Structure 1
Amino acid sequence: MVRVRIWDLPTRLFHWGLVLCVTGLVITGNVGGNAMMWHFRLGYCVWTLLLFRVFWGFVGGYWSRWSQLTLNPSRVWAYLQGRDRFTHFAGHNPLGSWSVVAFLLFLCVQVGTGLISDDEIANMGPLSSLVSSHWVSLATSWHKGWGKSTLILLICIHGLALIWYRWKKNQSLVQAMWHGDKPMPDSVAPSTDHGQSRAWALVLLLVSAMAVFWIVSLGG
């Protein structure tokens, strides 16, 4: 087996930062009250991370790019049936590729609805004043109801998938996302992960944070 740098440091920090923020969002959302102040802050952090990941998907490490996601439906079906010609995937496998896209898109919807939600008690999204009351009502209902429940369900499915891969296929996906390297049966193209690429990632993160700050400020 050959150890190859698959996940660059910015991608790994994004992943674990998202884990912490989403966990915090679930906790603060359920606690409510004064914890909602942190709920909003964590929501802005998630939005910043999502924007960064979109950019990084075009210029980041080789295996972190959108072009490397296996999204062909026939490959997904073959993978589910155990007929895929690859037994070791450097990046995300076909099912994992769709899971990444679905989870990120769902988080975008959840953050977006949170920005225009209003519980009519003490908490109001920063952009709720810019849309009609009809859309505010729909966004609030989704964000606090089906949206929250679906998010918790997706987190549980993700955790169970990690356990299944470790038990059934003897593949520890967590370790690769922690230190970046992954054992492969053959040498593959490694992801770029040096000082210059990390500096660019920091610039993109700052740009994303400023974009979030500017958009939030539009609501006054």
Structure 2
Amino acid sequence: MTTSPSKILVWDWTIRLVHWLMVVLVPLLWWTAEEGHMDWHKSLGLTMFSLVLFRLIWGFMGSWTARFVPMVRRIGSLRPYLGTLRNRQFAPTFGHSPLSVLSVFALLLALVTQVTTGLFSVDVDGLESGPLAIWISFETGREAADIHEFNFKILSLLIGLHLIAIAIYRFVIKEKLVWPMISGHRDRQDFPSDLLPENRAHLLPVIIAATLSLASVFALVNLG
């Protein structure tokens, strides 16, 4: 007779690595822009671009909790999920909850907008620009820069809401979300079902996603 392990993998190592690298990069990107360290800002921006692209690719070929299709399906159960929160009948979700799915998609959309507009942005003097700004007019590059700046405010707001939600889950609902995103694991007893998807990051999809992301950065650098 076999016994179930006490822990179960919820977040694969690639999801955790990308997540925490983004956490570090966002304030660094803000600081380098504010202090005028544009060479660093561009390098960090291309790094963020590669991470965002990897996450998008991983959403189609990665582990189960990383994929977008199961996440989209969970949105349909948003209303009953909110009902369980109101009634204090909360049960842990394997992967993203319906509410966190909306947060993930909103943050990804903001990040995609941020890195895309950064590629085309041009400063007021035309001295600093993204690697693809040579393919558009100065006026269009300035519009991209304006969107880039405004979108960062939206991104900052979304990050703030994300942190508030984590705090509410921790101190009100008594649900710890940070440690599983560090370790990747949760207690097996949190999920009564015996039929949980296998959730490891397999080597070949990781190599494909990483290669496509790095190749895209290489192409951007050379196009610029």
**Structure 1 length normalisation: TM-score?**
0.87
Matched, 1:140 2:145: yes
Q: What is the 5 A alignment of 1:3-42?
A: 3-32=7-36, 35-42=37-44
Opposite residue 44 of structure 2, the aligned amino acid is L
Counterpart-to-counterpart distance in 1, 2:206 and 2:49: 16
Hey, what does 1:172 align to over in structure 2? 176
Hey, what does 1:204 align to over in structure 2? 209
Counterpart-to-counterpart distance in 2, 1:99 and 1:108: 14
Which stretch of the first structure deviates more once superposed, 37-46 or 128-137? 128-137
CA contact (8 A) 2:94 2:191 kept: no
CA contact (8 A) 1:116 1:125 kept: yes
Counterpart-to-counterpart distance in 2, 1:117 and 1:104: 20
Instruction: Choose the corresponding residue for 2:81, options 79, 82, 88.
Output: 79
Hey, what does 2:108 align to over in structure 1? 104
Gaps of 5+ in 2: none
CA contact (8 A) 1:7 1:63 kept: yes
Alpha-carbon offset, residue 200 of structure 1: 3.6
Q: Secondary structure at the match of 2:28?
A: helix
CA contact (8 A) 1:9 1:180 kept: yes
Opposite residue 131 of structure 2, the aligned amino acid is P
Instruction: Choose the corresponding residue for 1:156, options 150, 154, 160.
Output: 160
Gaps of 5+ in 1: none
Q: Deviations over 1:108-143 (max 9, x none)?
A: 111111111111333111111211333212111111
Q: What is the 5 A alignment of 1:92-131?
A: 92-121=96-125, 122-131=127-136
Q: Secondary structure at the match of 1:182?
A: strand
Counterpart-to-counterpart distance in 1, 2:185 and 2:68: 19
Taking structure 1 as reference, are residues 25 and 127 closer, same or farther at Cα in structure 2, changes over 3 Å only?
A: same
Counterpart-to-counterpart distance in 2, 1:64 and 1:74: 18
CA contact (8 A) 1:116 1:140 kept: yes
Taking structure 1 as reference, are residues 205 and 192 closer, same or farther at Cα in structure 2, changes over 3 Å only?
A: same
Alpha-carbon offset, residue 72 of structure 1: 5.5
Hey, what does 1:185 align to over in structure 2? 191
Q: Secondary structure at the match of 1:82?
A: helix
**Percent identity between the two aligned chains:** 33
**Structure 2 length normalisation: TM-score?**
0.86
Taking structure 1 as reference, are residues 208 and 143 closer, same or farther at Cα in structure 2, changes over 3 Å only?
A: same
Instruction: Choose the corresponding residue for 2:59, options 45, 57, 60.
Output: 57
Taking structure 1 as reference, are residues 9 and 106 closer, same or farther at Cα in structure 2, changes over 3 Å only?
A: same
Instruction: Choose the corresponding residue for 1:66, options 49, 68, 71.
Output: 68
Alpha-carbon offset, residue 168 of structure 1: 1.1
Alpha-carbon offset, residue 77 of structure 1: 2.9
Counterpart-to-counterpart distance in 2, 1:51 and 1:36: 22
Counterpart-to-counterpart distance in 1, 2:95 and 2:179: 13
